[in-house]
Structure 1
Amino acid sequence: MVLSDTPPAPLPVLADFEVVRLIGDGNHGRFYLARPPARLGIDDEYVAVKVFAGQCSEDAYRRGTRELRAFAAVACPHLARVYDAVLEENFLYAMEWFPLGSLAAPARPLGHDHALRAVRDAALAVDALHEAGMAHGDIKPGNVMLTETGGKLSDLGLARVFTAGAALTGMAPETSVEYLDPALLLGESPSRATDIWALGATLHRVLAGSGLYGELPERQPLLAIRAVQSQQPIVHASLGPDEGDVVRACLAPLGERPGTAGEVAERITGLLAD
């Protein structure tokens, strides 16, 4: 191991949260582990605070806060709890902290059924959002957080809220492209159907360990989008017949997919061994 003389970057000041450490760095911002202020009145020792990259206007702050309030108001045990939103130089919000990590980066080895239960729980969360009149818009393994018994869905697709009117191709990171219904890249808006497609792509990644398009170029979103647009998604041969059927149902043409994310959850439950 080579030791570096470069000191670690100082932790930022994030409102009245006591920042402990950086826990994630993505295309649209960073997540920090922090202790919540007493004003929130919550029992959690830690929360995760997401800080969006770039400055945020007052109008974008109002849009983002409105979306988060609507998300937090949906009564579903499989949605991550959202506690606070603050506008300083950047937009930041605090949510439930998941020490077990996500489907994309689990903190410990993940069993097959645990992973399936996490996707099943995410589908139930998506169904609750849909019934409340909302589409998530960014379902992927990194947004399916792990609990001891399954999972919770987090990180409502706020990037589209902060970039209202921008083309999706201008804000979709390569880590999300694999899970985007191709219809979105052609101008469709997030909907029940596009979220169901994303659930199928997420389930495929969990079961096969690979993407529907192979491995897309890293840190090159435009090349990733081009790859997705130039080929058809392929369900990996390693999936069992029942597993493949669930994935294919989610990826079917518009109008032929399961009618609700709740139906997807039921079909995933049928794949569980216990």
Structure 2
Amino acid sequence: MKALVAGDPATVGRYQVFAVLGAGGMGRVLLGVSPDGRLVAVKQVHPHFAHDPGFRERFRREVTTSRMVSGAYTAAVMDADPDAPTPWLASVFVPGPALSEVVTAAGPLPPAAVRHLAAGLALALGEIHRTGLVHRDLKPGNVILAEDGPRVIDFGIARAAEGDSELTRTGSIIGSPGYMSPEQAQSKPLTPASDLFSFGALLVMAATGRGPFTGASTPQTLYNVVHAEPDLRALDPWLRRIVEPCLAKDPAHRPAPADVLRELGPIEPVASPWPPLVLQLIDEQRARISELLKPPSRRRRYAGLAAAAVVLLAAGTITVVSLTGSDSPPAAAGAPEEPVVTATNPDPFGPDNLRRVDLCRLLDGQDVPGLGRLSTKDGSALDSCFLENAEGRSLELKIGRSLLDSEAGGDLEGLPLTTKGDGRDCEAAVAVNGFPDSTLGTEVHFAVPVADACTVAKDGLGTAVRQLRAGGHDRELPPGTLAALDPCALLAPAEADRVIGPLRNTVHQGLRECRYEGTGTLSVKLGKGFPPSITRQLAGVKVSLGQKNNEEGQPGCALAWQHRQLSPREGENVELLLVPTGALTVDQACEKVQQAGQALLPRLPKP
């Protein structure tokens, strides 16, 4: 969930919106409030759909039918406007994480939870099919784990993108490759039986952590869906009896939702069917919504993504620094007026957790096939660790953006895997949740070519992923460290406006860098390295100030200083780089970047 940024709409139809819940192939979803105070999820379809002559009529027809669905296990459609410049649909907001998020964070669901999931989804599909709809995109991301059971979302929308739309004329398929039916993969007419195939694939993923047809690439996955038989040997017998007929290639051989419910039998009532992590995520989601709903004049003083607070973890305690969003100059460093605690994201593959994890502890002392037992060789960097075996062969575990040019490599511990390499070198990586340009990966290099370099890299990464999920590998954070800070939480929007305004967007560049985009760009980077050359003082701090080009070669002005000394030659550093556009000169950029530095300095922990 992200706060709105400059340029986002304040209202959609009669709904006031205040956060972005997510985005996908059809559009993005905003969190809003109806006139009667109910929370709603407002889906705005991508603008290019609005230019398709038949889309609006199909959208109108599907929305009308969708509003007839009112089952207990769906998020009911409340409203829509097919004729708006950007068509939208509003449904009841259901607090809870997506199934995909839970499995990524905690691994497969326990059998009792899978049983409740199967029953809820079968009831939801029965209600959807009763109205004549076919969901068409039943996948883990479209199943919300609410407190009392699952909820199916986004039904009745994918059909509107089919037909004569430009999207399908270009040869694309509407749906998610690992969960679509064979007939959908072949662009054949769909019946409700198509959703039962997706239902079966989804249950396999929930129970094992991976889909039954996931291949090394999208074409391979689609081939598997149409031609390959799934390996169901890992499923409990009761679950296999349900899933196997659902995954029949012939739609006529698949059961109906009522047949699935009969096979399941009575479901024992429980207070909550889910693992504890789900309830924790729901509580944190509600807390974040509560903060975002506060009046803007107060919300700017609180943690949240619009004007966040910085949570510092030091020696096992939490220190909280409030960030002001007022238009007045920042006050001197000291205790904040209204301390606010922001909950960190418990997702082990999320940025909050990865900033605190000691990567060396994930693999130090672990046995990796092809290498044997590893020990730490160099753990001085924040986001990488070099480990080696008894023969001196090394493996690097790292977080960064260097693996983005790699190839799809199938599935690793339920996560999409990418690999890159040859017989001597290989890298393997999985994504950092919420950061599409960042990865957690391993790299191996052998002095002579070996046949299994990529297997070794994948095995090492798999071990790290399992250790990360298990928890208990946080680094020891000394007082004053920058290691746990979110760089995008160091300037409030009003302060960025004064430097590069009007602020249009705030973008994470990996774990340690944030880019504020407006009239020009301002980057805030935290890291380790040699101390900058001192040229002057700013607010009592020795700093470096001067011209510097960004990665694209554009000239700007950089302000940098050492925040905390680690050794005579190395420290934790802060760098701000402002690249101007238009009439602003580099000299003027140097004046502006010092304004940003003055606002940011009081927000840093005292070293």
Q: TM-score, normalised by structure 1?
A: 0.80
Alignment deviations for residues 26-45 of structure 1 (CA, whole Å, 9 cap, x no partner): 12211111122x2xx4x52x
In structure 2, what is the Cα distance between the partners aligned to 1:157 and 1:191?
13
Higher helix share: 1
Q: 2:64 aligns with which of 49, 52, 69?
A: 69
Alignment deviations for residues 63-116 of structure 1 (CA, whole Å, 9 cap, x no partner): 212212212213422221111112433211111112212212249866543343
Say if 1:116 and 1:216 are closer, same or farther in 2 by CA, change over 3 A.
farther
In structure 2, what is the Cα distance between the partners aligned to 1:130 and 1:119?
16
**AA paired with 2:86?**
N
Q: How does 1:111-126 map to 2 (within 5 A)?
A: 112-126=111-125
For 1:172, the equivalent position in structure 2 comes to: 174
**AA paired with 2:28?**
R
For 2:150, the equivalent position in structure 1 comes to: 151
In structure 1, what is the Cα distance between the partners aligned to 2:14 and 2:234?
49
Higher strand share: 2
In structure 1, what is the Cα distance between the partners aligned to 2:199 and 2:62?
21
The answer as to 2:17 corresponding to 1:19 is yes
Q: 1:83 aligns with which of 72, 78, 85?
A: 78
Say if 1:225 and 1:168 are closer, same or farther in 2 by CA, change over 3 A.
farther
In structure 2, what is the Cα distance between the partners aligned to 1:268 and 1:158?
29
Q: 2:31 aligns with which of 19, 33, 55?
A: 33
Q: 2:91 aligns with which of 84, 88, 95?
A: 95
Unaligned runs of 5+ in 2: 271-607
What secondary structure, in the 3-state scheme, does the structure 2 residue paired with 1:77 have?
coil
Cα distance, 1:167 vs. partner? 5.8
Kindly indicate whether the alpha-carbon contact (under 8 Å) linking 2:116 and 2:267 is maintained by their aligned counterparts in 1: no
Kindly indicate whether the alpha-carbon contact (under 8 Å) linking 2:185 and 2:225 is maintained by their aligned counterparts in 1: no
Say if 1:257 and 1:159 are closer, same or farther in 2 by CA, change over 3 A.
closer
Percent identity between matched residues is 25
Q: Which has the higher contact order (CA 8 A, sep 6+)?
A: 1
For 1:4, the equivalent position in structure 2 comes to: none
The answer as to 2:46 corresponding to 1:53 is yes
Q: TM-score, normalised by structure 2?
A: 0.39
Kindly indicate whether the alpha-carbon contact (under 8 Å) linking 2:161 and 2:174 is maintained by their aligned counterparts in 1: no
Deviates further, 233-242 or 200-209? 233-242
Kindly indicate whether the alpha-carbon contact (under 8 Å) linking 2:129 and 2:192 is maintained by their aligned counterparts in 1: yes
For 2:235, the equivalent position in structure 1 comes to: 239
Cα distance, 1:169 vs. partner? 5.2
For 1:3, the equivalent position in structure 2 comes to: none
The answer as to 2:245 corresponding to 1:249 is yes
**AA paired with 2:60?**
T
Say if 1:115 and 1:241 are closer, same or farther in 2 by CA, change over 3 A.
closer
Please report the RMSD computed on the Cα atoms of aligned residues, expressed in angstroms: 3.0
Cα distance, 1:121 vs. partner? 1.3
**AA paired with 2:163?**
A
The answer as to 2:259 corresponding to 1:267 is no
Kindly indicate whether the alpha-carbon contact (under 8 Å) linking 1:140 and 1:198 is maintained by their aligned counterparts in 2: yes
**AA paired with 2:65?**
A
Deviates further, 77-86 or 164-173? 164-173
In structure 2, what is the Cα distance between the partners aligned to 1:103 and 1:169?
29
**AA paired with 1:178?**
G
In structure 1, what is the Cα distance between the partners aligned to 2:133 and 2:5?
40
In structure 1, what is the Cα distance between the partners aligned to 2:25 and 2:220?
16
Unaligned runs of 5+ in 1: 1-6
Structure with bigger gyration radius = 2
Kindly indicate whether the alpha-carbon contact (under 8 Å) linking 2:145 and 2:151 is maintained by their aligned counterparts in 1: yes
For 2:205, the equivalent position in structure 1 comes to: 205
In structure 2, what is the Cα distance between the partners aligned to 1:266 and 1:142?
26
What secondary structure, in the 3-state scheme, does the structure 2 residue paired with 1:130 have?
helix
Cα distance, 1:132 vs. partner? 2.5
| Count of matched residue pairs | 256
Say if 1:273 and 1:209 are closer, same or farther in 2 by CA, change over 3 A.
farther
Say if 1:91 and 1:106 are closer, same or farther in 2 by CA, change over 3 A.
farther
Kindly indicate whether the alpha-carbon contact (under 8 Å) linking 1:168 and 1:185 is maintained by their aligned counterparts in 2: no
